[in-house]
Copies of this chain bind each other. A is one copy, B any other.
Amino acid sequence: MPALGTKARILRAANRRLQKGGISRLSMRTIAADLGITPMALYRHFRDKDELLDALSQDALNEWLRRLQEIGSESPLKWLHESFERFLAFALDSPTRFEAAFLLPAPKARRFPDDITLRRSPTLTLMMNHIERAQFEGSFCRDESPEYIAMTFWALAQGLVALFRAGRFTGATEFRDFYLRVTARCIASFRRS
């Protein structure tokens, strides 16, 4: 009864490794050791370390997309608040996958403005859709484009979490308070005046 294929088990072990020790301590050898397997067995499932890292990051990005998609389609403003909260939750409750999703080198990352405008990024597109809805409804101002606003949100959330991860807050509680206040304020700053 192989509930999980070896490939999936490798990714899970890699995530665990990532959790303690971070990227720098993630090696083919440690992952294999955690699984009670020879390092070379990994090469049966991934061409090389880069491919494994890539799978890891894809996996985590999918998880993030899934969390975003799970948000109920209430009012667009509520959706935006909720998306900020989910980003925070993702960063706090799964620092591993958060790190894999956003901190591993991502060769295929979408670029602003072209890729974004062309809706090539699934997560940012999702966010932009709700921003557009908010603008359409009249609850958001229209002087800025959805991609501009989405990218602003993105930068702010990333910056806040980066400071937290760099140990710039006394504790998680202080961080949570600050994060929620700042992001709420940022959303508010785009409301129709």
Q: Per DSSP, are chain A's interface residues mostly helix, strand or loop, or mixed?
A: helix
Given contacts A109-B166, A168-B109, contact A152 B182 (CB under 8 A): yes
- Chain A interface size, as a band, is 20 to 34
Q: Determine whether the beta carbon of B162 is less than 8 Å from that of A154.
A: no
Q: In the complex, what's the smallest C-beta–C-beta distance from A6 to chain B, in angstroms?
A: 29
Q: In the complex, what's the smallest C-beta–C-beta distance from A184 to chain B, in angstroms?
A: 12
Would you call A30 an interface residue if the criterion is a C-beta within 8 Å of the partner chain's C-beta atoms?
Answer: no
Would you call A106 an interface residue if the criterion is a C-beta within 8 Å of the partner chain's C-beta atoms?
Answer: yes
Q: Determine whether the beta carbon of A156 is less than 8 Å from that of B156.
A: yes
Contact residues in B for A109 (Cβ distance below 8 Å):
166-168
In the docked arrangement, what's the CA distance between A155 and B186, Å?
Answer: 12
Copies held by the complex: 2
Given contacts A159-B155, A159-B158, A159-B162, contact A170 B114 (CB under 8 A): yes
Would you call A92 an interface residue if the criterion is a C-beta within 8 Å of the partner chain's C-beta atoms?
Answer: no
Would you call A189 an interface residue if the criterion is a C-beta within 8 Å of the partner chain's C-beta atoms?
Answer: yes
B155, B170, B178, B185: the one within 8 Å of A160 (CB): B155
Would you call A35 an interface residue if the criterion is a C-beta within 8 Å of the partner chain's C-beta atoms?
Answer: no
In the docked arrangement, what's the CA distance between A158 and B152, Å?
Answer: 12
Q: Which residue of chain B has its CB nearest to the CB of A110? A: B168
Q: In the complex, what's the smallest C-beta–C-beta distance from A98 to chain B, in angstroms?
A: 14
Would you call A43 an interface residue if the criterion is a C-beta within 8 Å of the partner chain's C-beta atoms?
Answer: no
In the docked arrangement, what's the CA distance between A128 and B154, Å?
Answer: 25
In the docked arrangement, what's the CA distance between A112 and B156, Å?
Answer: 17
Contact residues in B for A182 (Cβ distance below 8 Å):
151-152, 155
In the docked arrangement, what's the CA distance between A178 and B106, Å?
Answer: 21
Binary interface profile of A, 166-192, with partner B (CB < 8 Å = 1, else 0)? 111110001100100110011001000
The 3 closest A-B pairs by CB, nearest first: A159-B159, A155-B159, A189-B189
